[in-house]
Amino acid sequence: MAISPPSDIILDVARAADPERLKVATAKLDQLAGTAGTAFADLMPKASETGAALTALADATPVVDPAPSAPFDLHRARLRLQNETALASRVDDAAAAAGDRRSKALESFEAMVLSTFIGSMLPEGAENVYGSGTAGDVWKSMLSDQLGKQMAKAGGIGIADHLVAGHVANLDAGTAGAPPLRLAALLSTVPRI
């Protein structure tokens, strides 16, 4: 599993950008690229005008919900966060504490499963990257643990949600939970890599 952090960050930012702002920024960069060899002081009035146009466009453009095909929508994420915060303030403290403990436990479980998946995907013969011997094994283990925790924190692959859907009634009622065979059957539905 290889990543390229600079290009991944740039692509994430580009996906999150407003299409109109992206067009204005692209036009500005094209304009500046066409003026290679021009003195910096000569470019500043043009850049200021473009910046003012961008600010005016941002102020005049109403906030609309973009197409659902957008991979990340900052406006929708902000609204979801506001709604979740408003709903969370209505929940009494005892229920919130119980739900918080449950969600942390399920998130930790998903992090452990993801850590195991990631650990098995890391290359075996990469001593020049991770180090050799016990130190390399410890480093790979720590790396897979942290990646698993961050992936689970970001939503994971749905293991915790799947467990919640099937076992909320048992957890709320205080029963022992599903028998081991049901849990094994549930875990067998998780896709294997």
Query: What value does the mean pLDDT of the chain take?
Result: 69
Per-residue pLDDT reduced to its tens digit, 38-74: 565 555 555 566 666 666 666 665 555 555 555 566 7
Nearest alpha carbon to residue 151 among 141, 139, 159: 159
**DSSP-derived secondary structure for 4-46:** -HHHHHHHHHHHHS-HHHHHHHHHHHHHHHTTTT--HHHHHHH
Residue carrying the six token digits 């990257």: 129
**DSSP-derived secondary structure for 50-95:** HHHHHHHHHHHSPP----TT-S--HHHHHHHHHHHHHHHHHS-HHH
Nearest alpha carbon to residue 151 among 102, 107, 92, 94: 107
Measured distance CA(37)–CA(177) in Å, rounded: 72
Quick check: is 60 in a domain? no
Quick check: is 171 in a domain? yes
**DSSP-derived secondary structure for 87-108:** HHHHS-HHHHHHHHHHHHHHHH
Quick check: is 1 in a domain? no
Q: What tokens were used for 134? A: 């016990």
The mean pLDDT value for 73-89 works out to 72
Q: Does residue 29 surpass a pLDDT of 60?
A: yes
Total of domains in the chain: 1
Per-residue pLDDT reduced to its tens digit, 133-142: 788 788 888 8
The mean pLDDT value for 159-177 works out to 62
Quick check: is 35 in a domain? no
Q: How far is CA 130 from the centre of its chain?
A: 25
Range of the domain at 150: 75-188
Quick check: is 122 in a domain? yes
The mean pLDDT value for 160-186 works out to 60
Quick check: is 181 in a domain? yes
Measured distance CA(140)–CA(142) in Å, rounded: 5
Quick check: is 42 in a domain? no
Quick check: is 33 in a domain? no
